[in-house]
Amino acid sequence: MNRMSIVVATLLAAFAAEQPALAASHREAPLIAQDPTADLTDVYAFVSYDQDNLARDPKDRKLTLIMNVIPGQHPSDGPNYFNFADDVVYRMHVDNNRNGRAQDIVYEFRFKTENRPIGGPGGLTSPVPYLGNPAIPAAVPLQGITALDGPGSEGLTRRQSYSVTEVRGNRRTRLFSGLVAVPSNAGSATFPDYEALAAQGIYSDPDSGIRVFAGQRAETFYIDLGATFDTLNFRRSPPLLNGSGEDNDDVNPFGINRFANTNVSTIAIEIPIVRLTRDGKPATTDSDNKYIGVYASTSRPKLRVLRDDNLPFEIGESVQVARLANPLVNELIINTPRKDYWNTQYPYTEAQFQSFYQAPVIQTALDLVFGGFGVKTPPTPRTDLMQVLLKYPGQKLDGQNCGSPCSDLLRLDLSVPPTAPESQSRLGAALGGDAAGFPNGRRPNDDVTDIAVRVVGGPDYIKVQAGDGVNFLDGAPGSSTSDGPGYGSVAGNRLDVTSNGIAKEFPFLPTPYSGRAGVGNY
């Protein structure tokens, strides 16, 4: 038996519980901010709104679940671009019986990174992960990366493969293995047709009807982060969108989007709805199977050591280091000393944090900053926030307390038909009259920042149309293109994207910005 010398012993369970760990969205908690590959930035759950699904009979419709990690990627940050972590388990959890536990169905994603010698076994290794340039002689197979595997993939010298497992109770079903994650978009010389390459990274299983994608995408979350966290120093006081057309979905009246021209690492899975309902039947408006709850988590092994041959070896079960369901909860509701602990807890234990929902500090901040302008927040305790964020429709609170079940989940009514991309309201079901939007699930372009400010602020903030002045993703790669269905099926075909940045086809996030093209260009 080889003697193993312990080089690094990171007891994440104790570490996360005893020290402030970074939370799940965009640097929302102290510890997870130091661990971007496990830092969940956004989670989306929605009935797919591509052309095929819009045309389907409701009983045959599909649902898309998305988790993003590694926030704020600058497109040019090479040579070591952005990869998923081999030692992180990425999970999407589904609750289909409304008990708040979200363990009825779980989808696990695990990654493995390989260094590939140039020209195959025995070849040279490379100091950079991607190689390709049209100036290289045609006889050399490095003119550009055009495939994820086989001929045309020679320049992909550092590559990630992954597996997808469906867990139902004690039954584990491997849905996919040996899939290749789509690499970061270094530029047009290295990737002559990046969109065609990305299309190869969409994998389908004809037996289950499931398709998946893992790789880099453009960041669709938009917020004036600088103004928001300069102690609510919005660029207009109070934060009003009351000028002509300023609250429209295609106008950015005064805010500066921190995440403009940045990318993110995406895991997306599309699943037939009948595979997710409790009874395996279609969800209808009058059925009791129509609600599901969703959250994402990332987990790391408790202990990592190095063997005598310097290869990593993991001991012990993995522990949760981040979770995310409803957006902005950890940033705006959970107080800083508890943020890292919150990340380690399961959503169904949310009652221990109910005091933060009843009297959110962000509400106090709104009163302090904007109270002098005549806009007031509702009285506490805020039972309305607990009802919306921690309960399913029809589940009652226990007086002013959350009661049971009490769980932070992104809840979705599967019977609500999807809204076509061109007709989506950024203010969703809460304020925009679009029943398919947040908080009925969440789509990539729902303006959760403005919704959160108005809902937490209450009727006065809704009346004055409070917002950060960023209403949509301006300049999304491929915006205003519409080549018809079939992302990547035609040479040079771009993923169809609306003028206000909504990607119309799976994986429902635009093509990532190119490193070579520079920030702001495509």
Say if residues 359 and 368 touch (Cβ distance below 8 Å): no
d(CA 227, CA 451): 17
CA distances from 129 to 35, 77, 157 (A): 21, 12, 5
**Which residue type is seen at 276?**
L
d(CA 412, CA 470): 26
Q: Give per-10-residue mean pLDDT for the chain (522 aa).
A: 29 30 48 86 97 95 98 91 96 98 98 88 82 86 92 94 97 97 96 94 95 97 92 88 92 95 97 97 94 97 68 74 94 90 95 97 93 94 96 97 98 98 96 97 97 94 95 92 76 82 96 83 45
3-class state of residue 253 by DSSP = coil
Q: Which residues make Cβ contacts (< 8 Å) with residue 14, sequence separation at least 6?
A: none
| Residue 79: cis peptide before it, omega within 30 degrees of 0 | yes
Say if residues 443 and 488 touch (Cβ distance below 8 Å): no
Half-sphere exposure of 443 (CA within 13 A, CB side): 32
d(CA 111, CA 234): 40
Q: Given this model, what pLDDT does residue 484 score? A: 75
Q: Which residues make Cβ contacts (< 8 Å) with residue 481, sequence separation at least 6?
A: 494, 495, 496, 497
Task: At 177, give phi and psi (nearest 5°).
Answer: -150, 155
3-class state of residue 398 by DSSP = strand
Q: Of the candidates 407, 348, 355, 351, which has an alpha carbon nearest to the alpha carbon of residue 381?
A: 355
Q: Given this model, what pLDDT does residue 121 score? A: 75
Q: Of the candidates 18, 50, 32, which has an alpha carbon nearest to the alpha carbon of residue 506?
A: 50
Q: Which residues make Cβ contacts (< 8 Å) with residue 317, sequence separation at least 6?
A: 301, 302
d(CA 55, CA 231): 46
DSSP per residue, 148-183: SSSTT-TTB-EEEEEEEEEEETTEEEEEEEEEEPBP
Say if residues 436 and 47 touch (Cβ distance below 8 Å): yes
Half-sphere exposure of 199 (CA within 13 A, CB side): 18
CB atoms within 10 A of CB 432: 20
* Owner of token pair 């990174």: 113
d(CA 45, CA 56): 19
Taking every pair of Cα atoms in the chain, the longest distance, rounded to a whole number of angstroms, is 75
Say if residues 59 and 77 touch (Cβ distance below 8 Å): no
d(CA 365, CA 238): 13
**pTM confidence score:** 0.91
Angle at 201 between CA 195 and CA 207, to 5 degrees: 135
Q: Given this model, what pLDDT does residue 28 score? A: 62
Say if residues 347 and 323 touch (Cβ distance below 8 Å): yes
Q: Given this model, what pLDDT does residue 482 score? A: 82
CB atoms within 10 A of CB 390: 28
Q: Given this model, what pLDDT does residue 17 score? A: 33
d(CA 514, CA 101): 40
The two structure tokens encoding residue 253: 């009246």
DSSP per residue, 357-374: HHS-HHHHHHHHHHGGGT
Say if residues 493 and 483 touch (Cβ distance below 8 Å): yes
Q: Which residues make Cβ contacts (< 8 Å) with residue 478, sequence separation at least 6?
A: 195, 494, 495, 496, 497, 503, 510, 511, 522
What's the residue count for the chain?
Answer: 522
Task: At 32, give phi and psi (nearest 5°).
Answer: -70, -20
